[in-house]
Amino acid sequence: MILKGQNLRIYEYSSQGQYKVIAQATSCTATLTGNTEDASHKDIVGNATMNSVVSKGWQVQVESLDVLDMASLLTQIKSRSKFQIEFDEASTTDNQTELKAAFARRGDAYISDITFAFNNRENSTKSITFMGTGALSKVPSQTPGTQVIPVSTSLTKGQFVRLFLGNDASATPSKVIGSAVQLQFHISVTMESATTKDTEGDWIINEPMKLSYDITSNALVRGDDNITSGVEAQDLAGIEDIFEASTPVKFEIANVSGANQRTKGSVLVSGLVTITQLTINAANRQNATYDTTLTNYGDYTVGA
């Protein structure tokens, strides 16, 4: 029988001693890499290289519609939490119960890259890359798991999460990005090999090092902000002023409600950022838009 994609899943070891699926996943990929060095030498006739495997690495990528665990993931990345990940076949009866298939593999990993996307009139998504540290070992044959995780039926629409900016490093981020269309929050953690001669086997030991994050926003260019709302908006001119000043500015990404979806609710993540790129798009017969890339100035805070 040929397996379908929905029956190959990424599980995470939970605090209750069981492996739980990454909920609401839409796709996942496991990549095992053999790093090679050319072992050809003059004694071998011809021009061909001889690729000899000197070390191995692995990573797992998951796309998911579940963003409710954003705070938890951001906290775990800050604390350099190690995850135990399993790649396994899921039962066809629920797509969730792990089966301990012959090809099932398990290993430790850190999150090396994560993107939360909150785009207008789209379901919000998260995209996670787990970078392995040590072996992605075959799982010994065991009794299949029995835990079934209830399917989450909640979907977060992107227009209900917005970026707020202040005017400078001290001002409260009270201004929403006016006429915003897209918003992405992306974290990257640089991994460094800590493999030594003492390390057994070919698998690379990775340690999380430098953390950086950026926010990308896309909005329409408006001549004025004629929306009736008590909440002020940053427009292109305001963003240009921040760029001109070359100083960090406070940001908050928050739930919103109310008129024009500008009333700030609970804050998801906050911190200081600098504008590192501003692109104004003026395509023929299309709305003029501008893209803003904001790069971190120090760490982020989970919540306000």
Q: Is 5 in the site for other proteins (CB under 8 A)?
A: no
Q: Is 292 within 8 Å of 276 (Cβ atoms)?
A: no
Nearest approach, Cβ of 70 to other proteins (angstroms)? 5
Nearer CB in complex with other proteins: 55/301: 301
Q: What are phi and psi of 127, to 5 degrees?
A: -130, 120
Angle at 215 between CA 296 and CA 81, to 5 degrees: 65
End-to-end CA distance of the chain, in Å?
Answer: 51
- 82, 100, 157, 222: which one contacts other proteins (CB under 8 A)? 157
**Stretch 76-95 residues interacting with other proteins (CB under 8 A):** 76, 79
- 141, 257, 277, 281: which one contacts other proteins (CB under 8 A)? 257
Q: Is 146 in the site for other proteins (CB under 8 A)?
A: no
Complete DSSP assignment for 156-215: -BGGGEEEEE-SSSSS---EEETTEEEEEEEEEEEEEE---TTS-SSBPPEEEEEEEEEE
Q: Is 268 in the site for other proteins (CB under 8 A)?
A: yes
Nearest approach, Cβ of 44 to other proteins (angstroms)? 55
Q: Is 124 in the site for other proteins (CB under 8 A)?
A: yes
Angle at 25 between CA 20 and CA 27, to 5 degrees: 120
Nearer CB in complex with other proteins: 137/154: 154
Nearer CB in complex with other proteins: 185/203: 185
- 26, 40, 188, 255: which one contacts other proteins (CB under 8 A)? 255
**Which residue has 């579940």 as its token pair?**
66
**Which residue has 């739930």 as its token pair?**
255
Q: Is 96 in the site for other proteins (CB under 8 A)?
A: no
Q: Is 150 in the site for other proteins (CB under 8 A)?
A: yes
Q: Is 213 in the site for other proteins (CB under 8 A)?
A: no
- 179-200 burial, b at 16+ Cβ within 10 Å, e below that, comes to bbbbbbbbbbbebeeebeeeee
User: For residues 195 and 202, what is the distance between their CA atoms, to the nearest angstrom?
Assistant: 9
Contact residues for other proteins (CB under 8 A)? 14-16, 67-72, 75-76, 79, 118, 124, 150, 152-157, 160-161, 255, 257, 265-266, 268, 302-303
